[in-house]
Structure 1
Amino acid sequence: MPRRIKTFGGQKATVPLKNERDMNNIINYFLIQREKAKTEVKRWQADRNWILCLIGFNTAFRAEDLLQLRVMDIEKGYMSIKENKTGKVQNFRLNKLLHEDIMDYVKRNELTSYSYLFPSQKNMNFTITRQQADRILKKAADAIKLKQPFSLHSMRKTFGYHYIKNGGKLLTLMKMYNHDETSTTEIYICWGTDDAEQDRQSIYNGAVHRKGRK
């Protein structure tokens, strides 16, 4: 019997964006909003929301850790944070292109080393709340007609799903997530029978003998 997605309070549990096009549509939505902005405030908001998605899709941070990021945490191209939930420390070097995008955003919006990466419009000394961030992402999901719930937590799961889909190691992903078991990670990213069957269809061993075949 296939594993069922649990529901809580009538809502579906968070799942990753398995279609890469959906992920890119979310990111591009904010880029388009930035380009079309008629005021500086609207442009800045779209820029902030874009970088939020870009970092969320590329680092797999929990919501509370993602929103607490300051410029000083990433400006040298190296990340070192202590997770709020587990107390465990994550140390890793940022992807070069991601770091460049972040620093361009920092420069463009004149942020300082002590600035939050996703500051609130009402008070730049505070970061946006999780509720605000989820509302921002839901609005984007509705705009692109996404057929599944989408939130901050979705980005963390999406990172893991596409990491494995693109050939990443399950054990490595488990360590990225600070999980204790690989089985927990498999369930977490919703890797199931349909994904295994898609991978099976993409494999053909023995392609060499077909090179001279007409």
Structure 2
Amino acid sequence: MSEVDAVKDLDTVRLIGLLLERRFSKQVSDVWHIGLNLALRISDLLSIRFEDISDDRLIIREGKTGKTANIQLNPKAISIINRIQQEYPNHEYIFQSYRNRQSINRAPHPISRRYVSRAFAEVGQELKLNLGTHSMRKTRGYHLYQNTKDIGRVMKMLRHSSEGVTLRYIGITQEDVDKDFVELEI
């Protein structure tokens, strides 16, 4: 699996959502938008059930770490989730598979991470970006760091235990740190 990047330009973030909807589906675009707002790993994101949400909070146990993620949903995420629930009131999962014949005769399950990965990679190729499912999480972390310069907050949001891991993860390089020193004169 190749390394993917955070999307550092907000216009590109919006463009990716549009291209995912045009080239693939509204559902894949919704994965992108909700993924940006929740900063979860793709396996956890796709496994969200409507019952995991109470009022404006999502509470799930992360598959990789076993840690509990207790996330306050922002208005954009709530709006998208409510729209999906209204369109598909019988669905169990937010991103439930329903389009192929196999889904009709099986127990409810989410869309596959392979499908989402392929969609993201194709749009990334079109935009000449290393785009993958982890890009959503990295992008959220990167923009939170740019807005706050508080690595502790980013670590907590991503549920990381090391500053170095978090900085590398969100794509903050020595060049970025050097630029901050040059641009900020006191």
Per the normalisation by structure 1, the TM-score is 0.75
CA displacement, residues 159-194 of structure 1 (integer Å, 9 cap, x when unaligned): 101110112521121122221111111111110133
Partner amino acid for 1:170? I
The alignment status of 1:117 with 2:94, answered yes or no, reads yes
Cα separation, 2, equivalents of 1:29 and 1:171: 33
- Count residues in correspondence: 180
Deviations 1:86-120 (A, max 9, x none): 1110112111232123212321x2234x5211122
Does residue 184 (structure 1) correspond to residue 139 (structure 2)? The answer is no
Runs of 5+ in structure 2 lacking a partner?
Answer: none
Bigger CA radius of gyration: 1
Name the CA shift for 1:168/1:67 in 2 (closer, same or farther; >3 Å).
farther
Match of 2:44 in 1: 65
Rounded Cα–Cα distance in structure 1 between residues aligned with 2:145 and 2:50: 29
Q: Does 2:142 align with 1:131?
A: no
Would you say 1:74 and 2:73 are equivalent positions? Answer: no
Distance 1:194 1:131, change over 3 A: same
The residue type equivalent to 2:85 in the other structure is: V
Secondary structure of the structure 1 residue equivalent to 2:25: helix
Alpha-carbon RMSD: 2.2
C-alpha distance 106-140 of structure 1, shift in aligned 2 (>3 A): farther
* Higher RCO structure (Cα 8 Å, ≥6 apart): 2
Distance 1:163 1:200, change over 3 A: same
Q: 1:118·1:128 contact (CA, 8 Å) conserved in 2?
A: yes
Q: What is the CA–CA distance in structure 1 between the aligned matches of 2:88 and 2:46, rounded to whole Å?
A: 19
More helix by share: 2
User: TM-score w.r.t. structure 2 length?
Assistant: 0.85
Q: Secondary structure at the match of 1:136?
A: helix
User: Deviations for 1:69-95, whole angstroms, at most 9, x for unmatched residues?
Assistant: 112223521111111111110112111
Identity of aligned residues (%): 28
SS for the counterpart of 1:166 is helix
The reply to whether residue 161 of structure 1 matches residue 142 of structure 2 is yes
Distance in 1 (alpha carbons) for counterparts of 2:172 and 2:115: 29
Q: Which runs of 5+ in 1 are unaligned?
A: 1-7, 35-44, 206-214
